[in-house]
């Protein structure tokens, strides 16, 4: 065990992150010598850097990665056929279970239909935590009751008609949000978002761009919705992003439009910084139209 790694009892979220990163390493997604950035992993998995840092410690304890002083964590050479490590964790919270279910569905680790018992066996959570999570997923239209028994994931954005309806709805709401009378932009947040986009535009590894772009794309649209000052605009955009997370990655990442989308986002950011909100709304409408067209709409 490494000296810098202190003994600790990890939370379920930390263990879940460690398992996910371990699967990527063992699957070859991170080759030997790859630097694992806390910031990039936090954005990829939609969590803060604190649980990512703990997950990396767990991976270091299993010698899947190595820690270098003042440099961070790097992937070690992996023996072919090495088994995935296992850790014991504290119980999941409702928020953690909510995020994990969405991620597992996106990775097609959960079937179209399931029961409470299926989830209790898979995640080893209490019935109260599961009930609270299912109520939240149902309220956000991410799952729906089956006739008779159990739950199902709706087709959501898997078919062309649903995607068309989603893009038209997003266009109406997001463009209107930019024109809300209480719209207030946060200039430092816009500048940070611009820097993140510019950094992603320089990324050469296309396999890394897809999940990173989806994360930064969701953050971009939710940031502008938050600026609107209208809670219902924000809730709508957040719900649409969750629906997109539930869709299979093959559906979401089927078109190589990342570079164009990044430039369109940068144009919208500049228009908001210039307080040209009518122009920003027009750019947003065109951006969403082109996104939909790229999916075959």
| pLDDT tens digit sequence for 45-55 | 778 888 899 99
Give pTM, 2 decimals. Answer: 0.60
Task: Write the CATH number for 28.
Answer: 1.10.10.10
Confidence of residue 24 (pLDDT cuts 50, 70, 90): confident
Residues 274 and 163 reside in one and the same domain:
yes
Residues 274 and 174 reside in one and the same domain:
yes
**Rounded Cα distance, 23 and 12, in Å:** 16
Instruction: Give the pLDDT confidence of 218-270 residue by residue, as tens digits.
Output: 889 999 999 999 999 998 998 888 887 777 554 454 445 788 899 999 999 99
Checking if the pLDDT of 159 tops 80, the result is no
Contact 243/166 with Cβ under 8 angstroms?
yes
**Rounded Cα distance, 180 and 139, in Å:** 26
Residues 42 and 110 reside in one and the same domain:
no
Residues 150 and 164 reside in one and the same domain:
no
Residues 164 and 288 reside in one and the same domain:
yes
User: Which residue range is the domain that position 208 belongs to?
Assistant: 157-294
> Greater confidence, 66 or 104?
66
pLDDT in the model for residue 1: 36
Residues 138 and 164 reside in one and the same domain:
no
Confidence of residue 287 (pLDDT cuts 50, 70, 90): very high
pLDDT in the model for residue 161: 81
- 225 phi, psi to nearest 5 deg: -65, -40
Q: What is the dihedral of CA 144, 147, 151, 153, to 10 degrees?
A: -50
Burial class (CB in 10 A: 0-12, 13-18, 19+), 78: middle
Asked whether residue 228 is domain-assigned, the answer is yes
Instruction: Give the pLDDT confidence of 121-135 residue by residue, as tens digits.
Output: 888 788 898 999 999
Asked whether residue 88 is domain-assigned, the answer is no
Instruction: Give the pLDDT confidence of 230-241 residue by residue, as tens digits.
Output: 999 998 998 888
Domains identified in the chain, total number: 3
């Amino acid at each position: 065990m490494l000296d810098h790694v202190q003994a600790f009892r990890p939370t379920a979220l930390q263990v879940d992150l460690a398992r996910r990163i371990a699967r990527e390493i063992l699957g070859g997604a991170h080759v030997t010598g790859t630097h694992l950035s806390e910031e990039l992993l936090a954005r990829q998995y939609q969590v803060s850097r604190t649980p990512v840092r703990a997950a990396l410690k767990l991976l270091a304890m299993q010698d899947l990665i190595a820690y270098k002083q003042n440099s961070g964590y790097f992937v070690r050479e992996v023996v072919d056929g090495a088994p995935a490590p296992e850790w014991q964790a504290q119980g999941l919270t409702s928020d953690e279970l909510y995020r994990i279910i969405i991620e597992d569905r996106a990775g097609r680790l959960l079937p179209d239909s399931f029961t409470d018992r299926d989830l209790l066996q898979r995640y080893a959570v209490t019935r109260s935590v599961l009930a609270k999570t299912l109520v939240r997923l149902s309220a956000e239209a991410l799952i729906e009751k089956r006739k008779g028994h159990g739950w199902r994931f709706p087709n959501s954005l898997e078919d062309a008609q649903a995607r068309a309806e989603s893009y038209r709805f997003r266009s109406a709401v997001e463009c209107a949000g930019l024109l809300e009378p209480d719209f207030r932009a946060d200039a430092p947040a816009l500048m940070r978002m611009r820097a993140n986009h510019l950094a992603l535009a320089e990324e050469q590894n296309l396999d890394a761009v897809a999940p990173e772009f989806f994360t930064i794309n969701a953050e971009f649209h939710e940031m502008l919705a938050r600026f609107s000052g209208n809670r219902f605009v924000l809730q709508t955009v957040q719900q649409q992003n969750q629906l997109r997370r539930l869709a299979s990655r093959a559906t979401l990442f089927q078109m190589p439009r990342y570079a164009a989308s990044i430039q369109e986002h940068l144009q919208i950011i500049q228009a908001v910084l210039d307080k040209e909100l009518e122009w920003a709304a027009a750019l947003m409408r065109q951006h969403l139209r082109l996104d939909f067209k790229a999916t075959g709409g």
